[in-house]
Structure 1
Amino acid sequence: MEDLMIEQWNPSSSYEQYWEACAPIYCTYSQIAHTKNFVGVLVALVSIISSLTVVLRIGINLLVKFAINLFKRTPQRQNEVKPKLKDRLKKMFLTIIMQASAGMMDLNIFPLWRFGSNTDRMTAKRLGQWSTRLYIVLFITSLTTIIIYIGVQPQMLTKSFNEPSLNIYNRLLLDHGDTLQCPCSSISSTYSQFIQIKPVFHQVCSSIFVSDAWRTNLTNGLVSDLSIYDTQDYRRFLSAHLQFLKGLCQSSIQSINDSINQFLSSSLVTTNIITETILNSQVNVLIDESKSNALIIFARLLFFLQSANHGNRLVSGYGTNFMFGGFVFDQTAIEFRSYVVEVLYDNQCSCILNRTCTIQATFINKNLSEIIAVNGLKMGCTPSESFLKSTLECFYNYSCINIIQTQTNSSYEMNSPPLITDGSRFPIKTTINDLVNDLFVENWLTAVNYSLYFDQCSPKLCSYTYIQELNSFYTVTSVLSLSGGIMFILKWISPILVRLLVAINRYRKKRTNVVQCENNIPMTTITTVDIMPRQMNIQPETISLQSESNDLPPPTHCGSFLLCFRELICWIILIFVVLFMIVLSFLTIIPHAKNEAVISAPFINTTATNNITQKLTTSISTTIASSTASSSSCQLTFELLTRQFDNRQAEGSIAVSDFDNDGLWDIILTLFRQYTNIVVFGDGYDSFTRSITINTECSTTGTYVIAADINNDAQMDIVTACDGGPNIVSIILGNGDGTFREAIVYSTGEDGYAIWLDTGDFNGDGNLDIVASIYGISGNRTVEVLFGDGNGFIGGHTRFSTGQNDPSWSLVVGDFDNDRQLDIAIGKSYVPQIVVLRGYGNGSFGPPIIIELESIIFFASWIDAVDINNDGYLDVIVTNAGLDNVAVLLGKGDGTFQPSMTFSTGVFGAPYSGVVEDFNGDGVLDIAAVNYATANVGVLLGYGNGTFGPPMMFPIYDSRMLGMIAADFNRDGRMDLAFIGLASLYFPIMQNTCECCEQEFFNMSRTSHQ
C-alpha cells in the first residue's frame, strides 16, 4: 500500500509531440553585427564625398569672395552724402533680385562637351543653361520629397542595456513600460527561492482545548461505560468531540502545510522578467489556487467518510443513531436475528434519512432532576456530525467551561484563559463545519521578495523600442548621404532630357513647316561659279547650326528689373506648385499605406495564437490551471444569496415559470416526504417573499416537477412525477393569477414510478403530451408517453423500450434527425450510453439507437438538447455524476452524433444537474453544472464551436444540491442561478453580478425545469 501497488513506472516522452503542441510561430536569435557591410560603407562614403564636394564648392567660393570684400579697402569719397537706411535696404533688395535673376538665368554648370562636339559654343551654352534649370528644379523637388519622407516617417529605434541592475530595470520600466524586454538567463526558478508563506490558524488549534492532558483530566471523572448516561446527556459526546476537534485541527494544519510545500516546490517559468505588480498578482492567484485545492481535498475526504458511515448504516457505539430493538425469530433460517431502531431528534429528524439530525447539548443530572444546556454544542446521530453543527461559543466563556469541568467531576485547574474574540475573522457563532471549510485558517502571511526573483532571473540584456517622429540629426545625415547620389544622377540625366526635348521640338517644327510647290510655276536654273570654296563650305554648316539653335527657346536677358522680377516669380511659383503636388501625393499615400499595413498584419492564425497564449499562461507555473478559457474579456462573478423555507424541506426538484402573469419569474419546488409542492413568487429583487403550497395528490413524494401549458389556455400548469405507484404523474392546472385548480393524478396500471419528465406533441394533434422515464419495480426500464387531449386530461398512454434492461434516468425531447418529428434522447444510469427514440409523428417511435460514450463510470444525472455549435443541428449535453465531467455530443442532423467530448466541471465534483445559457453576455452558450460532492458550481464558458473552457468554480457551501435552474430573477439583464437540495430547508440563489454580462432577450425553454 505504501507504493500504491505500483510495480514500476514507465515514463515516456516525445519531443516531436511537444514541438507540435508548442507550434512556434517564429524563432529569433541575437548576434552583434556591424550596421553596414563593405558595400554599404563604400556607397555611404561616396555619397558623403559627393555631398561635401558640392557644399565645399559653393561654400569656399562664397567664403573667398567674402574675405576679399572684407579686406578690400574702398576709397573714401569726400562730401559723400549717405542715403537713408530705407533707401539703402531697398537698393540692396533690388540688387539682390537683379543679381539672383541674372545669375539664375545665366547659370550653367554643364561643360560644353556634354552636348557633343558638333554643337557650337552658343548653342551648347544655351543647352547648358536649360539643363541647369532642369537640374535645379529636379534636385530641389527630389531633396524636398526626401526631407518630407524622412521627417514624417517614424523611426523604430531600439536601445539596449547590458546586465542591468534592479534599480536600472525599475527606472527603465518606469520610463518605457510595456516596451521594455528583459530575457531571463534562467527561465525557471522555484517559488521557495523568493516567496515565504505562513498560515495563521484559529486560536483553538493552539489552545489547551485540543491537548490530550486537558481532555484526559476532564474525562477522568466520567464512568468508563458511557451507556449508563442518558442518550441525551452530553457526557456521552464530550470525549469524542474533543478528540474530533484535535483531529480536525491536526488534519487541517497538515493539509495546509502540504499544500504550501507543494506550491513552494513548484517552478515559475518565465522567458522574460515580469514586473513586481504582475508577479504579486500571479503569486496571489497561485496561492488562492493552492488554498482552494487544499480545501477541496480535505472536504472530499471528509465527505467520503461521512457518506461511507451514513450509507453503510454504521451503528454508533454511543447509541446515538440506532438503538438495539430486540430479537426476532427468522423461520426460514430457523434462527433469531437482532434488529435496531432509528433515533429521532428535533423536528422528528430520523438518522436513517438524515445524518445531520441534532439537538441541543445538555448535562442531565437525574438525582437533582436538573438539565443544564451547554451553549453552542450539539448532539446528534454521530459525534462527528453533531460536532460539525456545533460552535465554539462555550470555549469563549469561562462560566461555560467551568460548567463542563463541574459536570465531569474534573479537578483540573485551567492554566489557559478562554478563547478571545479580538483578532479573529470568525464570529463566535461560526459552526465547526464553517471552520473546517476554511481549514481553521485565519490569515495567510505571504512575503514576495522581488529582488531575489530578479537575481534568479538574472537578465543579461534589457532593451526597449521607441518611435521617433522627427529626428533632425538623422534627417540631415540621411539627406546629405542621399544628395550626392541624386546630384550624380541628375547631372547625368538632365542634359540628355534637354537634348531629347530639343530633338522632339525640332521634329515637331519640321512637320508643321513643310512647303509644297505648285506645278504651274516655271522653274529657272541658276548656275553659280565657285569662287570662294572655303566660304561656301562654311556657310552650309553655319546655316545648319543656326537652324538647330532656332529650335531652342529664345535667350532671355534681363533688360529691366520688372522683367527679371517677373521671370523669377514665375520660376518660384513653378517650383512651389511642383513641391505642393509632391507633398499632397505623399500625404495621400501615407494613410493608405498605414491602413493596408493594418489590414494585412493579422496573418497569424487566431486559433494558434490563442493556443500559444494559453500554453504560455499555463507555463508560468505547474500548479495553476488556466481560468481564461473564454475568449471573452468579461469576468463572470456571482453573489450567493439564501432563501429560507418555513421549516419545510425540499426534495431536490425545481422549475421556473411565470404563474401569475406579472412578468417575473416564479419558482416551484417539490417538498421532502410530503405530497405537496411549494410555489415561490418572484418580486424582481431575488427576495421571493410570497409563497403558496399546493397538493399534488401523489401517494408519495414528488420526484420531479416541470411547468408547461397542458390545456392550451396560455397559462402555465404544473406536472409532477410521483415517487411510487400506482400513480405516475400529477397535473395541476394554473389559472394565470397565481392560483391553481385541484390536482389530477394518472396511473398507467403498470409497476414503476416516474423519475424524469418532459413534454412535446408526439402524435401531431396540436396538444402537449407528457413523456416520463419509468423506473420499473420488476426491473423494467421504459419510457412512458401520456397523450394529452388539450383540456388538461390524458387520453391514452404507451410504453416504449429503451433497449437493454439498464436503468433509464434523464431524458430530453427534440428533433434530432431534422424530419420535423419529435424524438426522445434518454440518458442511462450506470451504463455509458445515450439512447435515441426517433419519433414518427403519430405517437409511435422507431427502434432504439444506442450511442456509446467513452466513460468508465457513468450516471446521466441531467440531459439537455440545444444547438451548441450553431450548425442548425440539435446537440446533446449530459452530466456524468459518476465522475466529474459533462459530455457534449454534436448532432449530425440524422439522429446520430459525433464522438462525445468531455469537459471537467471540477475535480471530483459529481455534477448532478446543469443548465445551458449565455452567462457572460458574449452571445455564445455556456454550461453551468452543480457539483453534489464539492458543494460548488462549475461554469464552462463556450467558444461557439461545441467546445468549452476550463470550469470557473463558485461555492454554494452545501453538498446536497441536486437541482438547478437559470433565469433573470432581478431583471438586471443577467442570468442568475437557483438551486435546491435533498431535504434542504432553503434554496440558494447565485445572483449574476458581472458588470458587462447584460443581455436583452432570454430563451427560458432550456432552463424551465431541473
Structure 2
Amino acid sequence: MRLFQFISEINLFETDATDTISIRTQRLCTWFFISILTTCLLIVTIYASVHTDIIRIEIKNPTIDLYEKLAANNYSIECDCSETFVPHKEFISLQPIYHQVCSSDFVTQRWIDYLYHSTKHSFYFHADFRSTAMQQFQLLAVLCQLSIQETEDGLDLFFYTEIISGKLMSKDFLLAEARSRINALKRNAPDAFDYKLMFIRQMIAGNVLLSSTATIFQTTSQEQFTCSTPAVFLDNSNNSSAYSYIIDGWYIGCRPIDSLLSSTLKIFYNQTMINSLLQFFNNTSSNFTCLDANKESIFDLNTTLSTIIKSVFIEKWIQNINYSLYFNHCAPKLCFYTINKRFNIYYIITTIISVYGGLSTVLSLIIPAIVKSITQHNAETSHRDYSFRRLKQLIITWLRQLISTLIKMNLFRSSTRLEPSDIYQQRWSTRFYITFLSSFFIIITIYTAATKETVLTELIKPSFNEVLKLQQQTSLSSLQCPCSQLSSSFKYSIELIPTYHEICDSDFVLDEWIRLMLPLEHYHPYNFEQN
C-alpha cells in the first residue's frame, strides 16, 4: 500500500502552488513523463542489446603464433607488410632429383674413353654397337649436363623472382600461389629443353650434317629421325658379318642423337649383361657398375631415352613452402581485424545515459506545456469548434503558453530560496544550461553526420557488372571479393596473339620450294641453286 501511495503521490514537477488542480496537473505530468521516458529507454535498451557493433581491433608487432591463432578462429585479419617484395628463395626450397643415369658410370669420361680406346678395329659395320657407342654416350653425358644446367638456371631465375604484395597473404593463399608458380616452372623447364633439342635435330637434318662414323643410313634416310636398327656385335674377322650378340633395347640409326633417343637403358640395369658386353672390347680390365633396378623411379626399364630426356632427366621434385619464413620476411608491424559483437554492456550503458539526459530535458519542457494546454482546453466549453479560425486561435494560444513557459522555466528551483532575485538567477541558470546543452547536441549531431562509419556490407555471388559498379563507388582497398578458386590460368583472362613475319607463310618455306634447291652433282660456289 505504501508503494502504491508513493507512486500515486509522486510529483516531479512540484511548484509553489498548493491548490488541488495544480497538484493534480503536476502529478499527471509526472505520470506522463515517467511513462514516456520508461518506454523510450526500454526501446533504446532493446535496440542497443540486439545491435551488432563492428569493433576494429589493432595488433602491433604480431607474432606468427598469434596470427595463425586468429586465422584459425576465422577472423578476417589484415596486416601491412614492412617488405613489399619477397623473393621466392626466402621461403621456398625446391630441389630436383635426377635420373640415376646422370650420376652413373655411363656418363663419365672414364666410360667414354674406355669405349674409344678399347676397340680392336678402326672400322666396324654400321649396326655394330662399337661403331657409334662412344658418340652416343658422349651425347648422353652432354644431354645430362645440359639438362641439369638448364634446370639450375631456371631455378636461379625462379628463386630471385619476387612475390609483390603490400598485404600479408594468408597461408592458404600463399601456398596456392607458390604451388602455382612451382607447377609453372615444372611445366616450362621440360618444354624449353625439348624445344632446344628439337631445334638442334632440325638444324642437323636441314643442313645434312653427317656423323664422322659411317652408317648405311646416311645415304638413304637423311630427312628421317626414326631410322634405326638394333645394335649388335659383329665378328669382323675374315670380313665376316655374323651376329655375335644383340643388345636388347639399344639402337643404331641415321645419326647418333636419333638412335640414342630411340634406345632404352634396359641392359644397363643388369650387371651380368654389362660384363658380357665388355667382353667384346679389348682385354682392358675395368669395372663399371650397373644402374640400380630397385631404386624408386617414375620410369620403367623399357622407357626410351627420348621420354626421359623430354622430362629433363627429372624423377621428382622435393619442395617445401615455409609460411613462417614468409611471415618473418614480410615483418608486419600492424595488423587489424574486425569482430561483430552484440550485447555490449558498455555500449548499452553509454547509449542509455546519452539518451536519458537529452530525452528527460526535452520531456520536462514539453509535457507540462502540453498537459496544461489540454487541461485548459478541456475546462472550456464542451462544444468544440473545429473551424479553421478556432484551430488557428488554438495554435496561437499554445505558442503563447509555450513561450511564457520557456521564459518562466526554472530547472534549478529551490524550496528555501524564493526571493525574486533568487528566482531570477535560477531562471538565467536554466537558460544557460539549455543553451549549452543544445549547443552540445548540435555539435555532436554535426560531428556524427560528418564522421565516416565503417559499415560491412556483404553481397553474395555478385555479378561482373555489380563488381564494376562497386569499384567505381568505393576504393579498391575497401572492396574485397574472395575468389572461389585461388588459382586461375591466364588463358581465361588474357588474349595474346602474335603476328609473324610474312616469310613464314610464303612459298619460300614450303617443301616444294626446298626440293627445287637440291644440290647438284658438281658444286660451284657462285651457283645460286647449289647454295
**TM-score using structure 2 length:** 0.70
For residues 355 and 15 of structure 2, the distance between their equivalents in structure 1, rounded to whole angstroms, comes to 27
* CA shift digits 1:386-422 (9 cap, x unpaired): 1111111111011332233222325241153443332
For residues 268 and 415 of structure 1, the distance between their equivalents in structure 2, rounded to whole angstroms, comes to 47
* CA shift digits 1:94-149 (9 cap, x unpaired): x36xx42x444433211337xxxxx9833322222222222122112211111111
1:466 to 2:342 alignment: no
Q: What does residue 181 of structure 1 align with?
A: 78
For residues 292 and 249 of structure 2, the distance between their equivalents in structure 1, rounded to whole angstroms, comes to 14
Offset of 1:212 from its aligned partner?
1.0
1:214 to 2:111 alignment: yes
Offset of 1:260 from its aligned partner?
0.9
* CA shift digits 1:965-1007 (9 cap, x unpaired): xxxxxxxxxxxxxxxxxxxxxxxxxxxxxxxxxxxxxxxxxxx
Q: What does residue 468 of structure 2 align with?
A: 605
1:108 to 2:3 alignment: no
* CA shift digits 1:430-466 (9 cap, x unpaired): 1111111211112222233433322211111222211
The answer to whether the 8 A contact 2:75-2:338 is kept is no
Offset of 1:476 from its aligned partner?
2.6
Q: What does residue 487 of structure 1 align with?
A: 360
1:376 to 2:228 alignment: no
* CA shift digits 1:312-355 (9 cap, x unpaired): 444444344755xxxxxxxxxxxxxxxxx414xxxxxxx53x32
For residues 491 and 479 of structure 1, the distance between their equivalents in structure 2, rounded to whole angstroms, comes to 17
The answer to whether the 8 A contact 1:199-1:443 is kept is yes
1:300 to 2:195 alignment: yes
Please give the secondary structure, in 1, of the residue aligned with 2:279. helix
Q: What does residue 66 of structure 2 align with?
A: 168
The answer to whether the 8 A contact 1:421-1:428 is kept is no
1:199 to 2:96 alignment: yes
5+ long unaligned stretches in structure 2: 387-454, 482-486, 507-531
Structure 1 segment 844-855 matched on structure 2, within 5 A? 855=499
Structure 1 segment 510-521 matched on structure 2, within 5 A? 510-511=383-384
1:360 to 2:230 alignment: yes
For residues 595 and 258 of structure 1, the distance between their equivalents in structure 2, rounded to whole angstroms, comes to 48
Structure 1 segment 851-866 matched on structure 2, within 5 A? 855-857=499-501
Q: What does residue 156 of structure 2 align with?
A: 261
Bigger drift between 417-426 and 438-447 goes to 417-426
For residues 456 and 93 of structure 2, the distance between their equivalents in structure 1, rounded to whole angstroms, comes to 51
5+ long unaligned stretches in structure 1: 1-94, 114-118, 324-340, 344-350, 514-593, 618-624, 632-852, 862-879, 881-1010
The answer to whether the 8 A contact 2:29-2:368 is kept is yes
Offset of 1:504 from its aligned partner?
5.1
* CA shift digits 1:577-618 (9 cap, x unpaired): xxxxxxxxxxxxxxxxx999869x996516969xx89xx99x
**TM-score using structure 1 length:** 0.38
The answer to whether the 8 A contact 2:190-2:310 is kept is yes
Change (3 A) 1:442 1:187: same
Offset of 1:169 from its aligned partner?
2.4
For residues 90 and 150 of structure 2, the distance between their equivalents in structure 1, rounded to whole angstroms, comes to 22
Please give the secondary structure, in 1, of the residue aligned with 2:384. helix
Offset of 1:238 from its aligned partner?
0.6
Please give the secondary structure, in 2, of the residue aligned with 1:509. coil
Offset of 1:242 from its aligned partner?
0.4
The answer to whether the 8 A contact 2:54-2:341 is kept is yes
Report 1 or 2 for greater relative contact order, CA contacts < 8 Å, sequence distance ≥ 6.
2
The answer to whether the 8 A contact 1:395-1:419 is kept is no
1:147 to 2:45 alignment: yes
Change (3 A) 1:512 1:441: closer
Change (3 A) 1:260 1:481: same
Change (3 A) 1:494 1:290: same
Structure 1 segment 342-421 matched on structure 2, within 5 A? 342-343=220-221, 352=223, 354-367=224-237, 369-409=242-282, 411-421=284-294
For residues 233 and 59 of structure 2, the distance between their equivalents in structure 1, rounded to whole angstroms, comes to 77
Percent pairwise identity: 26
The answer to whether the 8 A contact 2:217-2:227 is kept is no
Offset of 1:503 from its aligned partner?
5.1
Structure 1 segment 664-703 matched on structure 2, within 5 A? none
For residues 596 and 420 of structure 1, the distance between their equivalents in structure 2, rounded to whole angstroms, comes to 62
Please give the secondary structure, in 1, of the residue aligned with 2:97. strand
* CA shift digits 1:16-61 (9 cap, x unpaired): xxxxxxxxxxxxxxxxxxxxxxxxxxxxxxxxxxxxxxxxxxxxxx
Change (3 A) 1:607 1:318: farther
For residues 165 and 296 of structure 2, the distance between their equivalents in structure 1, rounded to whole angstroms, comes to 38
Please give the secondary structure, in 2, of the residue aligned with 1:131. helix
Offset of 1:192 from its aligned partner?
2.0
Superposed CA RMSD in Å reads 3.5
The structure with more strand, counted as a fraction of residues:
1
Q: What does residue 489 of structure 2 align with?
A: 627
Bigger drift between 242-251 and 260-269 goes to 260-269
Offset of 1:293 from its aligned partner?
2.1
For residues 277 and 189 of structure 1, the distance between their equivalents in structure 2, rounded to whole angstroms, comes to 17
Please give the secondary structure, in 2, of the residue aligned with 1:459. coil
1:242 to 2:145 alignment: no
Q: What does residue 451 of structure 1 align with?
A: 324
Letter matched to residue 309 of structure 2: V
Change (3 A) 1:159 1:598: same
Change (3 A) 1:183 1:854: closer
1:123 to 2:21 alignment: yes
